Amino acid sequence: MVRGQLTLHFRHSLHAFCLGVFCFSTLYLVTFSTSANAELLELVIIHTNDFHGHIKEEKNYAGAARISAFVQQQRARYPRVIFLDAGDAISGTPVSTMFHGLPIFELMNAMNYDVGLLGNHEFDHGYKQIEKFREIAKQPLLSANALDPNGKLIGDKASHIIEVKGITIGIIGVITDTTPDLISPLGNEGISFLDPETVLKEKVREIKPKVDLLVVLSHVGHEQEKALAAAVQGIDIIVGGHSHTYVETPVKIGSTYVAQAHRYGSNIGFMRLTVDTTGNSITEFTGKLVPAAELPEPDPAVLATVNFWEEKVEDLVDVEIATSSREILPAELQGIFEKILADAAGADFGYYNIGGIRDSLPIGSITARHIWNIEPFGNTLVTLTIKGSDYLLLLGRENELHPGMAVINANKTYLVATNSFIGAHAVKAFGPKVQMKQLGVLVRDVLIENIKENGLE
């Protein structure tokens, strides 16, 4: 199609219509008279975030095969579709953890993502593992502000430009600069994260003149993403992640639409927009979340790959270890797990960070897989010899409302059982004032064996 033909077609048709109904023709002439040479092209953006390795369909999580079927369905229906992921694709299931995230990128290839993003959990196995993710992934893994110890980008590139049947789309990737507080220091020594706002301002100035549409893939959290939309001019769409926020319809901040699709494949983001490729603007926009239950039947080819990987772990994890008469939510699990860790280590206290409890336990049969999904990170059990005043600071930093704070004497020294992630951060924060001892056993194994022996009731 030659640019300008679509607009001229509408103008001639509406002129004829105008002879009978003048008021309607005037309204539509205003809507479509953006430029004598404008070409209005439709684009569909499908997006996920915080998938966390949930390749298998379970509970209200769609699984990779049903998501893939939905994407194929939309690509058959619309001429221009792009499929994006906003980070934290790995860490959350046995398949991801046992194989250090590698199968997830194999599945994402089968699902035909166009562009991905590094989230903080892509660093769970150390930043050097990301090189293996990049080798597997067919889609570029972006991050404009994550740097290795030599100051080089850890991701494939900072940004990516793609052309989709007449629309040139620029995509920039950013991750939260609080990532060092969210990842284990072990294996991530010397890496750094630049301020997302500063980096985005620079990259938008560089890329905006080259594209019809500018999209930011962001792993900084929904509230921060809205702040970025207000602070950085020129962004058309922010596809977000990190905070696991259910954004039913994208929020418009100025001229920027900000979206996020919850987590674990429970919802898929869907946007349909019209782009004026001459004026480099969005003229029409709709967006929503599509619940997992509304997705089509699984894509057989992707399902076969899912089953291949799940069969490698099912004998270990799909084993009943207890039953529960009620759903047990993370707040209650925190106390249960802390007692288990304290008993296992002979410590004064157990500490289990609430952010490390990634799921709840259901009513009925409890399997080892449930515990793997709750504690997918492979942390080891450690003890900390720590003064009460420092322990209060640690608890306050991790969780201001932790119930154990009320019984801690600031002047006493305690033995605290926790996971290696918290232990490493405590040593980093307090230095030689805190002594950490590795007990040589996985936290997950301690939890599974205790629940198997003692139950949950």
Residue 402: per-residue pLDDT: 82
Closest to 49 measured CA to CA, from 225, 335, 268:
268
* Calpha distance 19→258 (Å, rounded): 42
- Is 240 within 8 Å of 226 (Cβ atoms)? no
Residue 405 pLDDT grade (very low, low, confident, very high; cuts 50, 70, 90)? confident
pLDDT reported for residue 159: 98
Alpha-carbon separation of residue 108 from 44, 101, 160 (angstroms):
19, 11, 18
Helix and strand numbers (H, E) in the chain are: 16, 20
Domain 39-310 has CATH 3.30.70.1520: no
Q: Helix, strand, or coil here: 167?
A: strand
Q: Which of 33-37, 249-253, 374-378, 392-396 has the highest mean pLDDT?
A: 249-253
The answer to whether 305 and 107 are in contact (CB under 8 A) is yes
Highest mean pLDDT out of 218-222, 352-356, 357-361: 218-222
Average pLDDT value for residue range 97-103:
96
Question: Does residue 49 contact residue 11 with C-beta atoms inside 8 Å?
Answer: no
- pLDDT band per the 50, 70, 90 thresholds, residue 204: very high
CATH number of 319-454: 3.90.780.10
The alpha-helical segments, DSSP class H, found in 346-387 are: 368-374
Percent of the chain scoring above 90 in pLDDT: 86
Yes or no: say if 439 and 199 are a contact pair by the CB < 8 Å rule.
Answer: no
Task: Kindly tell me the burial class for residue 19, based on how many C-beta atoms sit within 10 Å of its own C-beta (0-12, 13-18, 19 or more).
Answer: exposed
Give yes or no for a contact between 298 and 273, defined as CB atoms under 8 angstroms apart: no
Q: What is the mean pLDDT of residues 343-354?
A: 95
Domain ranges of the chain: 1-38, 39-310, 319-454
Average of pLDDT values for 4-10? 34
The confidence score (pLDDT) of residue 406 equals 85
Going by pLDDT thresholds of 50, 70 and 90, the confidence category of residue 400 is: low
Q: Which helix H or strand E contains 117, and what residues bound it?
A: strand 116-117
* 106 sits in which H/E element: helix 102-111
φ and ψ of 116, to 5 deg = -125, 180
Compute the half-sphere exposure of residue 283: CA atoms within 13 Å on the CB side of its CA: 20
